[in-house]
A and B are shown apart, each in its own frame.
Chain A
Amino acid sequence: MAQRTSSSDNGLDRHYQLLQHELPRRGLIIATLSIGRRERKPRRSNGRPFVFLAPALFFVVVLFIIPLGYNLLISFFDWSIVGGRDFIGIENYVSVFTSERFLNAAGNTLVFTALVVPAGIFFSLLVALGFNALTIKRGSGLVRAFYFAPVVASLTAVAFVWLWIFNPVYGLANGVLEALGLPGQEWLTSESQSIPSLAIMYVWARLGFNVIILLAGLNAIDRTYYEAARLDGAGPLRLLWSITLPLLNRQLVLVASVEVMNALKLFELPFVATKGGPVGSSRSIVMEIYELAFRLDRWGESAVYVMAMFVFLVLATGTIRKVFTKDISE
């Protein structure tokens, strides 16, 4: 308990504890050796660490800092590979933010995000709570593996898997519906159903990932809290609401922000499964970034889409962290 409350607030130390659990299991006796030694501070630097840091810093600059700045620069230019590059100020921003194309793509992406994030959290929490309450050991590992299996599939593969399942004529989805006496659906080939269909694919693909994170959080909750609350007469729902969810807060916030981040960069699923259609009903922001730059040679506008995506990203994850993070250290 004390361990948990004293941990740093960067939200990542949970992983550190997992790592420490792994150490003794690997037959290393580090944990015992380290007692009383952890206080020692490494000696002052004499400049040598920068030799070790240099490659990483080089790539931080080349892979992140320069591209970020470069992108900002491009967004102020009428930039094309075939034609020229003219500085046009904020003209790209004005034209993009007032365009039907942008509003459609941003709307689609946000609707998709609004569908998959709550659904993803709900289902993964349900499954994780189920496994956490399960005391039967035999076979549970295999069942858990089944939930996790889709995680290893690339989104490209996921798109093909479901493209075939959602095939209106030969697909499994309509096969099952018809066997149940229900009317077949148009799925990805319908304007109104394309985004929900993509959301189903996505939730399926990501579920196992979130279950693992939530399960790790549930495992770390001290059982004595439950014992104490039960002695006080708390029922199962009360336990869930007053103990489990608050103590799982960090993992829930983590899952929510990771899901938002991933949902906002939706690309492979519509690119493969719908090509943005029908009639643009499933075009996403990243799809437009690709189209504008690589098909239409309008790099400046494409860079503006990137900036918009960043704004969404920062706003969404910031809001989630601000609104949903509860400090429960007592």
Chain B
Amino acid sequence: MTKKTVRAAHERTSGKDTVVAVEVERGNGVRRAAYRKGRPRGMGQLSLLATLFAGSLLMLVPLAWVALSSLKQPAEILRLPVQWLPDNFFNFDNYVQLFADHNFGRYMTNSFIVTGIGIGTSLVIALLAAYAFAYHNFRFKEPLFLLVLSLFMVPQEALVIPMYLMVSGAGLNNTYLGLAFPDLFTVLGLYLLRQFMEGIPYSYVEAARIDGAGEFRILTRIITPMVAPAIVVFVIIKFMFTWNTFLWPMLVAQEESMYTVTVGLVNFAGGEFNQWNLINAATIVSMLPLIVLFVTLQRYLVKGVAMSGMK
């Protein structure tokens, strides 16, 4: 449909100016369509796609190899020369073993709880602060925002020493709160939500204020639903980052029952050395929620990465 519009514009004027005007009106899709028009879809395009496809298979091979290996029997996996496919594609013994004989169910639960705490608190805190930054004026607002943004640069790994002393001093080792501690607040959330709120016209807030709505009510009833897309993106990205953390939970979870899935994976592999069928299955298990997320909500995930850039 868009293409037709552009072609029509082209034919009418056959000049660049009109096309530019259409671009401004319709945004990216049309801009690309207009660019495309003059270029034939020849062999060049097909070989480009083929090259990209070949490269993407190269990217996929390591994951596929681990997934296939996780379906093999212990003897099968050590067969030489290296064999690609498992004898039986429906051999889920390794996975069953992880949950039946080992504690992976518990690790998964722990990871979900810790991730949930991190997402919940950081989202609420970010919403509140973003609202203040977007709809209020106060002294040192922009310098303060810049200061907070600059904390983007501080890697968590660089703070584990003092943070561990603080958390263990407060007696929070082996607790969910302790595990989620560094994730209770994320600069990224504040940044994303503020940017998004700036795009919402101030008149909404103004009208609500005139109608006598309290600030908190405006935030929860008017603003929050409107920034839902940003919230979705943030929750997904935050889920990915928190789920994948390793160093911090390894320090704080000293009891096996409190291990998150990354810590459980490393610990398990250390104990089961050379049981590669099990280690491969455990690797896949540790990635499972993210694989599901990737397959179902990839659009948001990609958007979040493009927007976060950092981290």
Chain A residues near B (Cβ < 8 Å): 10, 12, 15-16, 18-23, 26, 28, 30-31, 33-34, 37-38, 40-45, 48-50, 52-53, 55-57, 59-60, 62-64, 66-68, 70-71, 74, 127, 130-131, 133-136, 139-140, 143-157, 160-162, 164-165, 167, 169-172, 174-175, 178-179, 204, 207-209, 212-213, 215-216, 219, 222-224, 226-227, 254, 258, 261, 264-265, 267-268, 271-272, 286, 289-290, 293-294, 299, 302-303, 306, 309-310, 313, 317
**B49 A134 Cβ-Cβ under 8 A:** yes
Tell me the number of A-to-B contacts counted with CB atoms below 8 Å: 325
A47 to B302 Cα, complex, angstroms: 38
A265 to B160 Cα, complex, angstroms: 12
Please name 24 pairs of A and B residues whose Cβ atoms are closer than 8 Å in the assembled complex, sorted by A: A22-B303, A37-B203, A42-B205, A49-B132, A56-B126, A56-B128, A60-B148, A63-B159, A70-B165, A127-B55, A136-B41, A145-B298, A154-B245, A161-B62, A164-B280, A212-B305, A223-B35, A227-B16, A254-B309, A258-B311, A265-B157, A271-B266, A294-B164, A306-B159
Chain A nearest CB from B115 CB (Å) reads 12
**B226 A30 Cβ-Cβ under 8 A:** yes
- CB interface residues, B 131-153, toward A, < 8 Å: 131-139, 146-149, 151, 153
* Seed contacts A147-B56, A148-B302, A209-B305; 13 additional CB < 8 Å A-B pairs: A22-B229, A42-B137, A42-B205, A43-B137, A74-B162, A170-B276, A172-B61, A172-B65, A204-B59, A219-B28, A264-B155, A268-B246, A299-B165
Chain A contacts of B269 at CB under 8 A?
160, 272
A84 to B20 Cα, complex, angstroms: 72
Chain A nearest CB from B2 CB (Å) reads 12
Chain B nearest CB from A234 CB (Å) reads 15
**A310 B158 Cβ-Cβ under 8 A:** yes
**A152 B290 Cβ-Cβ under 8 A:** yes
Q: A12-B191, A19-B199 are in contact. Are A53 and B185 (CB under 8 A)?
A: no
B202 within 8 A of A: yes
**B56 A146 Cβ-Cβ under 8 A:** yes
Residue of A64, A67, A272, A310 touching B266 (CB-CB under 8 A): A272
For the side of the interface on B, what is the size category? 35 or more
Q: A52-B128, A152-B294, A272-B266 are in contact. Are A207 and B59 (CB under 8 A)?
A: yes
Chain B nearest CB from A39 CB (Å) reads 9
A67 to B31 Cα, complex, angstroms: 49
Chain B contacts of A267 at CB under 8 A?
157, 246-247
- CB interface residues, B 196-224, toward A, < 8 Å: 196, 198-203, 205-206, 215, 219
Chain B nearest CB from A120 CB (Å) reads 13
Name which of B62, B153, B191, B303 has the most chain A CB atoms within 10 A of its CB.
Answer: B62
Residue of B62, B185, B228 touching A150 (CB-CB under 8 A): B62
B171 within 8 A of A: no
Chain B contacts of A261 at CB under 8 A?
153, 155
Chain B contacts of A152 at CB under 8 A?
240, 287, 290-291, 293-294, 301
Closest B residue by C-beta to A53: B132
Closest A residue by C-beta to B56: A146
A224 to B18 Cα, complex, angstroms: 12
Q: A34-B199, A56-B128, A140-B49 are in contact. Are A49 and B161 (CB under 8 A)?
A: no
The prevalent SS among residues of A at the interface is helix
Closest A residue by C-beta to B293: A152
Chain B nearest CB from A110 CB (Å) reads 16
Closest A residue by C-beta to B51: A130
Instruction: Determine, out of B76-84, B92-100, B102-110, the stretch whose residues face the partner at the interface.
Output: B76-84
Chain A nearest CB from B180 CB (Å) reads 12
Chain B contacts of A19 at CB under 8 A?
192, 195-196, 199, 230, 307
Q: A37-B201, A71-B162 are in contact. Are A127 and B31 (CB under 8 A)?
A: no
Closest B residue by C-beta to A314: B153
**B137 A66 Cβ-Cβ under 8 A:** no
